[in-house]
Amino acid sequence: MLCVLLVRFSSIGDILLTTPLVRALARRHPDAKLVYVTKRAMVPLVADHPDLAAVVALEPDEPVRHLARRLRTLAPTHGLDLHGNPRSATLRLLVRCRWSGYSKRKLARTLLISVGVDVYDRRVPVAERYFEAARALDVRPDGGPPQFFLSQGARDRVARWLAEKGLAGAPLAALAPGATHATKRWPLAHWIALAQRLRAAGHRPIVLGGPDDRGIALQLATGGAADSAVGEFSLQETGALLAGARVLVSGDTGVMHMATGVGTPVVALFGPTVEHFGFFPYRAPSVVLQRDLGCRPCSSTGTPTCPLGHHRCLVDVAPADVADAVERCVA
Q: Is residue 148, in this structure, part of any structural domain at all? A: no
Residue 132 and residue 27 in one domain: yes
Tell me how many domains the chain contains. 2
Q: Is residue 205, in this structure, part of any structural domain at all? A: yes
Which pLDDT score, from 0 to 100, does residue 210 have? 85
Give the span between the Cα atoms of 162 and 95, in whole angstroms: 46
- State which of 137, 164, 188 marks the end of a domain: 137
Contact 32, 278 (CB under 8 A): no
Q: Name the amino acid, one letter, at 26.
A: A
Q: Is residue 8, in this structure, part of any structural domain at all? A: yes
- State which of 137, 172, 200 marks the end of a domain: 137
In DSSP terms, 39 is beta-bridged to 58
Residue 62 and residue 109 in one domain: yes
Q: Is residue 144, in this structure, part of any structural domain at all? A: no
Which pLDDT score, from 0 to 100, does residue 213 have? 83
Residue 288 and residue 158 in one domain: yes
Residue 71 and residue 196 in one domain: no
Q: Are strands 54-58 and 78-81 parallel, antiparallel or unpaired?
A: unpaired
Which pLDDT score, from 0 to 100, does residue 121 have? 82
Give the span between the Cα atoms of 22 and 24, in whole angstroms: 6
Which pLDDT score, from 0 to 100, does residue 223 have? 67
Query: CA torsion, points 169, 173, 179, 185, in degrees to nearest 10?
Result: -160
Residue 323 and residue 229 in one domain: yes
SS3 118: coil
Q: Is residue 61, in this structure, part of any structural domain at all? A: yes
Residue 83 and residue 180 in one domain: no
Residue 184 and residue 325 in one domain: yes
Residue 187 and residue 289 in one domain: yes
**Is the whole model's pTM more than 0.75, yes or no?**
yes
User: Residue-wise over 33-66: b if at least 16 C-beta within 10 A, else e?
Assistant: bbbbbbbeebbbbbbbbebbeebebbeeeeebee
Burial class (CB in 10 A: 0-12, 13-18, 19+), 92: middle
Q: Is residue 257, in this structure, part of any structural domain at all? A: yes
Residue 193 and residue 249 in one domain: yes
Residue 198 and residue 85 in one domain: no
Which pLDDT score, from 0 to 100, does residue 218 have? 81
Per-residue pLDDT in tens (0 to 9) along the chain, 331 residues: 899 999 999 999 999 999 999 999 999 999 999 999 999 999 999 999 999 999 999 999 999 999 999 999 999 999 999 999 999 999 999 999 999 999 999 999 999 999 999 999 888 999 999 999 999 999 999 999 999 999 999 999 999 999 999 999 999 999 999 998 999 999 999 999 999 999 999 999 999 998 888 888 888 877 678 899 999 999 999 999 999 999 999 999 999 999 999 999 999 999 999 999 999 999 999 999 999 999 999 999 999 999 999 999 999 999 999 999 999 999 8
Domain limits for position 253? 154-330
Nearest partner of 150 among 282, 256, 248, 240, judged by Cα: 240
Which pLDDT score, from 0 to 100, does residue 53 have? 98
Residue 178 and residue 244 in one domain: yes
User: What string of DSSP letters covers 291-323?
Assistant: ---TT--S-SS--SS-TTS--HHHHTS-HHHHH
- State which of 137, 166, 182 marks the end of a domain: 137
Total residues belonging to the chain = 331
Nearest partner of 88 among 130, 121, 59, 58, judged by Cα: 58
Residue 266 and residue 171 in one domain: yes
Please report, for the domain that includes residue 13, its CATH number: 3.40.50.2000
Contact 41, 59 (CB under 8 A): no
Q: Is residue 318, in this structure, part of any structural domain at all? A: yes
Q: Is residue 145, in this structure, part of any structural domain at all? A: no
